[in-house]
Amino acid sequence: MTLLNDAPMAAPAHALTDEQAALVDMVRDFARHELEPHAIEWDRTKHFPVDVIRGAGELGFGGIYVSEDVGGAGLTRADAALIFEELAKGDVTIAAYISIHNMVAWMIDTFGDGAQRERWVPRLASMEHLGSYCLTEPDAGSDAAALSTRAVRDGDEYVLTGVKQFISGAGSTDVYIVMARTGEPGPAGITAFIVPSDAAGLSFGANEVKMGWNAQPTRAVILDGVRVPAADRLGGEGQGFTMAMKALNGGRLNIAACSLGGAQWALDRAVQHIRTRRAFGKPLSEQQSLVFTIADMETELQAARLLLRSAAQSIDTGHPDVAAHCAMAKRFATDVAFTAANAALQLHGGYGYLAEYGIEKVVRDLRVHQILEGTNEIMKLIIGRSVLEKAS
Amino acid sequence: MRIIVLIKHVPDTWEERVLDPATGRLDRSASERVVDEITERALEAALALKDSDKSIEVVALTMGPGESTGAIKKALSMGADSGIHLVDDALAGADAMTTAATIAAALRDAGADLIIAGNESTDGRGGMLPAMLAEHLGLPALTFISDLVVEGGRVRGERATETATSVVSAALPAVVSITEGMPEPRFPSFKGIMGAKKKPVASHSLADLGLAADATPRAASVVLSCEPRPGRTGAEPIVDDGSAGQRLADYLAQQRLV
Q: Is A68 on the interface with B (CB under 8 A)?
A: yes
Mean pLDDT in order along chain B per 10 residues (258 residues): 95 77 75 87 97 96 93 97 95 88 93 95 85 96 94 94 93 96 96 96 93 66 80 81 90 88
Say what the pLDDT of residue A2 is: 46
CB contact under 8 A, B190 and A22: no
pLDDT tier at A10, thresholds 50, 70, 90: low
Q: Where do the structural domains in chain A lie, given as residue ranges?
A: 18-131, 132-238, 241-391
pLDDT digits (tens, 9 = 90+) for A343-373: 999 999 999 999 999 999 999 999 999 999 9
Q: Which CATH class is domain A132-238?
A: mainly beta
Report phi then psi at A105, rounded to 5: -60, -40
Cross-chain residue pair A22–B189, CB shorter than 8 Å: no
Torsion of CA B57, B62, B63, B68, to 10 degrees: -140
- Cα A42 to Cα A44: distance, rounded to the nearest angstrom: 5
Looking at beta carbons, which residues of chain A come within 8 Å of B194?
A: 19, 73-75
Considering only A11-15, A83-87, A222-226, B17-21, which range has the smallest mean pLDDT? A11-15
Tell me the HSE value of A179 on the side-chain side, using a 13 A CA sphere.
30
Fold of A241-391: Butyryl-CoA Dehydrogenase, subunit A; domain 3 (1.20.140)
Q: For the domain A18-131, what is the CATH code?
A: 1.10.540.10
pLDDT of residue A12: 47
Better-scored residue on pLDDT, A90 or A10:
A90
- Shortest Cα distance from B242 to chain A (angstroms)? 30
Q: Say what the pLDDT of residue B130 is.
A: 95
| CATH number, domain B2-215, options 3.40.50.620, 3.10.20.30, 3.20.20.80, 3.40.50.970 | 3.40.50.620
pLDDT at A1 (0 to 100): 43
User: Are the Cβ atoms of B189 and A74 closer than 8 angstroms?
Assistant: no
> Per residue in A224-270, pLDDT tens?
999 999 999 999 999 999 999 999 999 999 999 999 999 999 999 99
Strand, coil or helix: what is B227?
A: coil
Q: Do B193 and A59 touch (CB under 8 A)?
A: no
Residue A64 sits at the chain B interface (C-beta within 8 Å):
yes
Nearest to B77 among A22, A58, A74 (CB): A22
Handedness of CA B70, B71, B77, B81 (dihedral sign): negative
Instruction: Give the pLDDT confidence score for residue A147 in this predicted structure.
Output: 96
Q: Which of A316-352 are b and which e, b meaning 16 or more Cβ less than 10 Å from the residue's Cβ? A: beebebbbbbbbbbbbbbbbbbbbbbbbbbebbeeeb
Q: Please determine, for residue A317, whether its predicted confidence score (pLDDT) is greater than 60.
A: yes
Mean pLDDT, residues A259-287 taken together? 97
Residues facing B230 on adjacent strands: none
Q: What is the mean pLDDT of chain A?
A: 95
